[in-house]
Amino acid sequence: MAPRWAERIKLRQLRVVLAVDEHGSITRAAEHLFITQAAVSKVIAEIETLVGTELFERKGRSVTPTDAGHHVIRTARRVATELKLLGEEVELISEGGAGLLIIGLQAISILQLVARVVATMKARHPRVTIRLVEDTLPNLLRELRAGRVNLVFGRLIRGLLTPDLDGAQILSEPYVVIASYGHPLLRASRLDWEQACSHDWCLPLPGTPIREHFADQMSALHVAMPSRAIETTSAATIATLLQTMPLLALAPANLAEEWVRGGVCTVTPLQLPARPEPIGLIWSATATLSSSAHIFRSETMAILHAPPVDG
């Protein structure tokens, strides 16, 4: 339970604390805030009385935060950031939304969810331009760190979320082996991996998590990887190729079900063990999300936790 004084702290007091920490001096903080030094000292004294301990150590004309001060400052920064985002979101909503939002996609199994979030986002904020960029996870994370991508959907591989990145688990989706309709392999009385790998395949790009997972499974079964392969991570390309030539491919189960209903392919009996790493939404832990990115993330989480619709 929060202490009573936490309910009595005012935003004005937190702004003064942040100014003093930023400028390292009562005098410079007062100049920045366009108030007197006495007024700054009074506010700091008020909040220290509420908290019950000193927030700054005075060393001549400069001040440095105490341990308690560091905690208050971190909270004050979070409050200031949330208020800034709130203001931007309200403005975005009132104006119908505007700007560019860049979403990185490493995992095609997330396409259905992304499509739902994009549809919701565009309905509520039609002037936000949403750019979907497909690439390998290392490339997308490099773009995310550089600020050229706002959010990334990708596998949460062990050790991926370094201190400069944060993320949330979205789903853990098994992959299945699919085949073009009428594929000769489907007429075989006995179906095994060695036989399957002798045919043409559409495989994920080298270095992608699902490609490595597939290679690990074939190695465990002592089966050589397919030598007749087309490599792509584009779901649209895979679907087109499946309808153009006899082909085997890997696809997330939910996407495979959609393609089966659309007459694109059929699911084979071959079993590929589920990957241990779930798919997640990843963002920068050191940079403030833009208003549109913040809303997109919120919409994603809301859709994930929404009850299913009957019918």
**CB-CB neighbours of 183 under 10 Å:** 21
User: Given this model, what pLDDT does residue 174 score?
Assistant: 77
User: Given this model, what pLDDT does residue 234 score?
Assistant: 85
Provide the mean pLDDT of the chain: 83
Q: Residue 225: which pLDDT band, with cuts at 50, 70 and 90?
A: very high
Beta-strand runs (E) in 66-183:
99-105, 128-134, 151-155, 165-171, 175-180
Phi then psi dihedrals of residue 310, to 5 deg = -70, 150
User: Given this model, what pLDDT does residue 191 score?
Assistant: 84
**Whether 193 contacts 220, CB under 8 Å:** no
**Alpha helix ranges (H) inside 157-275:** 193-196, 209-220, 235-242, 253-261
Question: What are the tokens at 241?
Answer: 């190729």
Question: What are the tokens at 200?
Answer: 């043409």
User: Given this model, what pLDDT does residue 276 score?
Assistant: 61
Q: Residue 311: which pLDDT band, with cuts at 50, 70 and 90?
A: very low
116, pLDDT greater than 90: no
Find where tokens 């739902």 sit: 116
Choice among 33-42, 137-146, 152-161 with the minimum mean pLDDT: 152-161
Q: Residue 3: which pLDDT band, with cuts at 50, 70 and 90?
A: low
The DSSP element (H or E) to which 293 belongs, if any, is helix 291-304
Mean pLDDT value across residues 179-198: 89
For residue 18, the one-letter residue type is L
1, pLDDT greater than 60: no
Mean pLDDT value across residues 170-178: 80
275, pLDDT greater than 60: yes
93, pLDDT greater than 60: no
**CB-CB neighbours of 276 under 10 Å:** 10
Mean pLDDT value across residues 196-211: 88
308, pLDDT greater than 60: no
222, pLDDT greater than 70: yes
- End-to-end alpha carbon distance in the chain: 44
Mean pLDDT value across residues 166-172: 79
Question: What are the tokens at 306?
Answer: 């929404």
35, pLDDT greater than 60: yes
pTM: 0.49
What is the total residue count of the chain? 311
Instruction: Specify which residues 57 forms β-bridges with.
Output: 64
**Whether 171 contacts 109, CB under 8 Å:** yes
Q: Residue 241: which pLDDT band, with cuts at 50, 70 and 90?
A: very high
Nearest in space to 165 (alpha carbons), one of 293, 285, 297, 294: 285
Question: What are the tokens at 51?
Answer: 């908290």
Q: Residue 310: which pLDDT band, with cuts at 50, 70 and 90?
A: very low
Phi then psi dihedrals of residue 99, to 5 deg = 110, -175
**Whether 173 contacts 254, CB under 8 Å:** yes
213, pLDDT greater than 70: yes
User: Given this model, what pLDDT does residue 172 score?
Assistant: 66
Query: What is the percentage of the chain residues whose pLDDT exceeds 90?
Result: 24
- Which residues have CB under 8 Å from 311's CB, separation 6+? none
Mean pLDDT value across residues 100-104: 90
Between 64 and 110, residue with greater pLDDT: 64
CA 183 to chain CA mean position, Å:
37
Instruction: Specify which residues 167 forms β-bridges with.
Output: 282
Mean pLDDT value across residues 276-299: 84
Measured CA to CA, the distance from residue 199 to residue 19 in angstroms comes to 67
